[in-house]
């Protein structure tokens, strides 16, 4: 088990009340609000954010995507989505953890669960776009096995880093 030399914390485990669960309709407000909170803290909400967060059933799930919710003691504290790009390629998107739950291993748990889910549904590649100013997120993605890739095209003005994970 890893402990921080600064504050002696231990990452949360399932026995500590952390669960990663599939999205259900009752999660819609938390999915939207948790994502809007981090986006507004660092960037500007873009058109695709409004579309995907405003109606995830239509814009994510109906297209073969999946959403995972991190619950801590039955309260949503984190989210991520696997958005279907093509038959075997998914985008890891809308990954966020509430301010109050950061540093507890929730992001790692979401990332691990998303990758395991991607493998289970037959994905061959998971890709993501992020911003170079989000150093903790980039570090997490690298630790999950993602590697840097050419930026290519993206709908997001804020995206200046592209990463991929071949499964």
Average pLDDT of span 8-18: 61
The model's pTM = 0.90
Which pLDDT tens digit goes with each residue over 40-98?
A: 999 999 999 999 999 999 999 999 999 999 999 999 999 999 999 999 999 999 999 99
Within 10 A of 94 (CB to CB), how many other CB atoms are there?
24
Range of the domain at 82: 14-166
Residue 159 has pLDDT above 90, yes or no: yes
Check residue 14 and give its pLDDT.
56
Domain assignment present for residue 52? The answer is: yes
Domain assignment present for residue 136? The answer is: yes
Interstrand relation of 147-149 and 66-72 (parallel, antiparallel or unpaired): unpaired
Residue 8 has pLDDT above 60, yes or no: no
Torsion angle in degrees (nearest 10) through CA of 62, 88, 167, 93: -40
Domain assignment present for residue 5? The answer is: no
Domain assignment present for residue 6? The answer is: no
Domain assignment present for residue 3? The answer is: no
CATH code of the domain containing 134: 3.40.630.30
Check residue 15 and give its pLDDT.
64
């Amino acid at each position: 088990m890893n402990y921080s030399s600064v504050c002696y914390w231990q990452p949360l485990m399932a026995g500590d009340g952390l669960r990663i669960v599939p999205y259900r309709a009752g999660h819609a407000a938390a999915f939207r609000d948790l994502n809007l909170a981090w986006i507004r803290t660092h960037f500007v909400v873009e058109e695709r954010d409004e579309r995907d967060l405003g109606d995830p059933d239509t814009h994510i799930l109906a297209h073969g995507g999946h959403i995972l919710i991190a619950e801590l003691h039955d309260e949503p504290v984190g989210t991520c989505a696997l958005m279907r790009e093509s038959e075997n390629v998914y985008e890891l998107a809308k990954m966020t953890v509430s301010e109050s739950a950061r540093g507890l291993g929730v992001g790692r748990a979401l990332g691990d669960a998303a990758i395991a889910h991607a493998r289970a549904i037959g994905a061959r590649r998971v890709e993501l776009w992020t911003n170079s100013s989000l150093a903790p997120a980039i570090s997490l993605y690298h630790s999950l096995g993602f590697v840097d890739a050419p930026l290519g095209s993206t709908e997001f003005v804020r995206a200046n880093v592209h990463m991929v994970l071949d499964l």
